Structure 1
């Protein structure tokens, strides 16, 4: 086996490992971004814990196929970047979608989230979901509101009784 083939197989295993580990994988067409724009995008993604890579499409397709993501092959045409979200499956979609609004050359192609294939429309819909921390805060807030109201009610009853006794 030649060194070139070994290098390609190693790269396929690397991509496959990242795909297995990631909760959200978003494919995007990046052609036309300036170096400054690409650097800014990478910084935004890195801050959110998202890994952003450009691999050869053939190698990415092989890795996806080995994992049973056959649909991913149709997304891998032309210059494609891959964003891997390891902790928050919505982060790559959210950041790329937000960035694409100001930079029209960045185009979302599709993705794989929690093992399910998402087309471009589904990825854009996914991008509207708030981060996990925000959802948890909203949930806790909805739990807290009725309890707070109940405490205020009890406090009001207590104060009313105190004023009647005085």
Structure 2
């Protein structure tokens, strides 16, 4: 690769790092090109761009962008899912986690959420959450909390929402309280004297059904293919 091409890629990657508060890092070694293309398509649908770039160029871009915390995650074949401002980190994490479960060769290393470093365990935990907008809506309607706590739920970074919930549940348990149950339907009118003589029908509550709760190993991409992958990802 020509020097000017490398400089262009570093510059473009640095700009992307500066503008991305949320990104996920994975070791893609062993995935086939069709599998990488499929993963890239799924991530695009969640507002994330999956890029494969040579590590030396990624390190230079991270230093140029002032994102040095990313350097610890760059070790071996590295792919980065850059999550757009309108993208959903939870959805992107779920896609990566599902792919890792289907293909043992994909390894999640961690990432950056709200600019802070997160571990692979935290990314997998994030993958279990519903989409961020749905999560905040559920919290607002299901958690009995003072107004200041509700405001905190909406303003807290996504990675902190689970901790906020856990803290609130612990507080309620210590106070001997419980989370509010859904409002029951209004009771039916009392039966007349004539109706009382007939045998009442038993009320049956339906129990919610429990929901039921992957290709050949790939060869590593060479360095030239890695830069091509970055360009094809929309860099």
> What TM-score range do you get, normalising by the shorter chain?
0.7 to 0.9
How far did residue 7 of structure 1 move? 2.4
> Residue 47 of structure 1 corresponds to which residue in structure 2?
45
Between Structure 1 and Structure 2, which shows a larger proportion of helix residues? 1
Alignment check: 8 A CA contact 1:24 1:114 kept: yes
> Which entry has the higher C-alpha Rg, 1 or 2?
2
Distance 2:110 2:117 in 1: 8
> Residue 56 of structure 1 corresponds to which residue in structure 2?
54
> Residue 119 of structure 1 corresponds to which residue in structure 2?
119
> Residue 103 of structure 1 corresponds to which residue in structure 2?
103
Distance 1:103 1:94 in 2: 14
Distance 2:68 2:107 in 1: 21
Does residue 81 of structure 1 match 2:93?
Answer: no
Distance 1:91 1:19 in 2: 20
> Residue 32 of structure 2 corresponds to which residue in structure 1?
34
Distance 2:127 2:63 in 1: 25
Between Structure 1 and Structure 2, which shows a larger proportion of strand residues? 1
Distance 1:67 1:47, change over 3 A: same
Q: Deviations over 1:74-118 (max 9, x none)?
A: 322221111011122333322111211111100011211111012
Distance 2:73 2:140 in 1: 39
> Residue 138 of structure 1 corresponds to which residue in structure 2?
138
How far did residue 41 of structure 1 move? 1.2
> Residue 69 of structure 1 corresponds to which residue in structure 2?
67
Q: Give unpaired runs (5+ residues) of structure 1.
A: 161-166
> Residue 93 of structure 2 corresponds to which residue in structure 1?
93
Alignment check: 8 A CA contact 2:15 2:65 kept: no
Distance 1:4 1:35 in 2: 24
How far did residue 127 of structure 1 move? 2.1
How far did residue 149 of structure 1 move? 4.0
Distance 1:35 1:8 in 2: 23
Q: Secondary structure at the match of 1:90?
A: helix
How far did residue 21 of structure 1 move? 2.1
Aligned residues: 152
After superposition, where does 1:146-157 map in structure 2 within 5 Å? 149=183
Distance 1:130 1:139 in 2: 11
> Residue 175 of structure 2 corresponds to which residue in structure 1?
none
Alignment check: 8 A CA contact 1:22 1:85 kept: yes
Query: What is the CA RMSD across the aligned residues, in angstroms?
Result: 2.8
